[in-house]
Amino acid sequence: MKANIKYIGCDDAQLDLFESQYVTPEGMCYNSYLIMDEKIAVMDSVDPRKTDEWLQNLSTALEGRTPDYLVVQHMEPDHSGSLSAFRKLYPTATIVASEKALSIMKQFDEKTCFTPTMAVKEGDTISLGKRTLQFIGAPMIHWPEVIVTYCPEEKTLFSADAFGKFGVIDADSDDWACEARRYYFNICGKYGVPVSTLLKKAAALDIQTICPLHGPILEDVKLKEAIKLYSIWGNYGVETEGVLVAHASIHGNTKKAALKLAEILQQKGAKKVVVADLCRDDMAEVIEDAFRMNKLVVCASSYDGDVFPPMHMFLWKLKLKAYQNRTIGILENGTWAPSAGKAMRAIIEQMKNVNIVEPTVTIRSSLKEADIPALEVLADGILA
Ligand code: FEO
């Protein structure tokens, strides 16, 4: 880090599920920073799982000094979960946050007295001495109270959850995008418009370093890559030309049809085909792939007059995350009364700007030679 900005965050290698729903095979980190100047600012706290370690990191980095400010950019507990402990140890530090964040603070902990506090909004600044903190509103990335902070003297943006990723900080490899993409679409994906707005504000700043609340600090090539990808993701653009074939198969027959369709797509020249098993693969990874590519085929068994639940969950999550601007094909399987196609279509039709390839392909119990022409037609429609 820079000489006067110290990293005081914590790795959490033992975390099983982030937000109780996303697997974290490489763990997670909760970033926090200390800006040392005539006055000292702490940038965010950490998850309560790591309070003691964070306070130790903070104490060591302070070298006997006392913090003047704790800037709270985001109130989700993975960053605000140690505020009360901080307040007990440093009762004179001013807690700086948006008005909304200060009210949420009391909702999470009505017993702690957080004063002194300072409410800040877009355009407000605090001088630390040689350095300045400029506050920028970033509502709905991905909570309403979020601010990000720019330090012009250090050309550094403290970006809250934006530009974050899954994984402990020291497990970072050259592949920032994979876990950043899974993080982005599953956590921030619904909020493409606010992300695009923040990118426009950031474009007016001279930024050489991004310090997010998760994942590595970004500079140079990685910073450029991250901004380029965020501009695609925030606009629901296409990162990779390709087809995701996602299947939810009870006994394996729908899966066989999905695999045959994938084979036909490849034979017909699809640039990239990815097959996902919604019953077994990490759903968050499949959501990421759906947003990454421009075409999707959903293949599912019928179930209780509806669609097999893993597919229902997948499509419901896509809709929740504002999946849009894509081409979608539908394949259903049913033994006596196929219902999956109608159920899938009902969710897909609620999505914005999707092109459904007609007709829905229906197979009965298992794929047969007589079904192949219908798969060929679906593949042609997807690739058209
Ligand atoms: Fe990393 Fe939205 O909390």
Residue 172 has a pLDDT of 57
Structure tokens at 279: 């019953």
174 Cα to the center of ligand 1, angstroms: 23
Q: Do domains 5-234 and 241-383 have the same CATH topology?
A: no
- Ligand 1 atom with the shortest distance to the CA of 213: 1
Contacts of 298 (CB under 8 A, 6+ apart): 246, 247, 311, 314, 315, 328, 329, 330, 331, 344, 348
pLDDT for the residue numbered 171: 54
From atom 3 of ligand 1, which residue's Cα is the shortest distance away? 76
Backbone angles phi, psi at 102, to 5 degrees: -65, -35
Q: Whole-prediction pTM value? A: 0.95
Atom of ligand 1 at shortest distance to CA of 143? 2
Q: Which two tokens stand for residue 176?
A: 């920032």
- Tell me the CA–centroid distance for residue 242 and ligand 1, in Å: 30
Please, is 350 exposed, middle or buried when counting C-beta atoms within 10 Å of its C-beta (0-12, 13-18, 19+)?
Answer: exposed
Please report, for the chain, the start and end positions of each structural domain, with discontinuous segments joined by +: 5-234, 241-383
The whole-angstrom separation of Cα 287 and Cα 317 is 8
- Which ranges constitute the DSSP H helices of the chain? 51-62, 77-80, 83-89, 99-108, 176-183, 192-203, 220-234, 253-267, 283-292, 309-320, 340-348, 372-383
Measured from the CA of 214, which atom of ligand 1 is nearest?
1
Residue whose Cα lies nearest atom 1 of ligand 1: it is 161
Residue of the CA atom closest to atom 2 of ligand 1: 76
Distance 277 CA to ligand 1 centre (A): 28
Q: Which residues contact 216 (CB under 8 A, 6 or more apart)?
A: 165, 169, 172, 176, 222
CATH of span 5-234:
3.60.15.10
Q: How far is CA 55 from CA 9, 33, 49, 185, in A?
A: 10, 12, 12, 32
- Digits of tens for pLDDT over the chain (384 positions)? 788 999 999 999 999 999 999 999 999 999 999 999 999 999 999 999 999 999 999 999 999 999 999 999 999 999 999 999 999 999 999 999 999 999 999 999 999 999 999 999 999 999 999 999 999 999 999 999 999 999 999 999 999 999 999 999 865 567 899 999 999 999 999 999 999 999 999 999 999 999 999 999 999 999 999 999 999 999 999 999 999 999 999 999 999 999 999 999 999 999 999 999 999 999 999 999 999 999 999 999 999 999 999 999 999 999 999 999 999 999 999 999 999 999 999 999 999 999 999 999 999 999 999 999 999 999 999 999
Distance 79 CA to ligand 1 centre (A): 7
* 50 exposure class (CB count in 10 Å sphere: 0-12, 13-18, 19+): buried
Residue 290 is which amino acid? A
Q: Is the CB of 161 under 6 A from ligand 1?
A: yes
The predicted pLDDT at position 1 comes to 72
Q: Is the CB of 165 under 6 A from ligand 1?
A: no
**What SS3 class is residue 198?**
helix
Ligand 1 atom at minimal distance to the Cα of residue 19 = 3
C-alpha dihedral, 35 to 94 to 130 to 155, nearest 10°? 50
Strand partners of residue 275: 245
Q: Which CATH architecture has domain 241-383?
A: 3-Layer(aba) Sandwich (3.40)
Atom number of ligand 1 nearest to Cα 164: 1
DSSP string, 4-53: TEEE--EEETT-SEETTTEE-TT-EEE--EEEESSSEEEE----GGGHHH
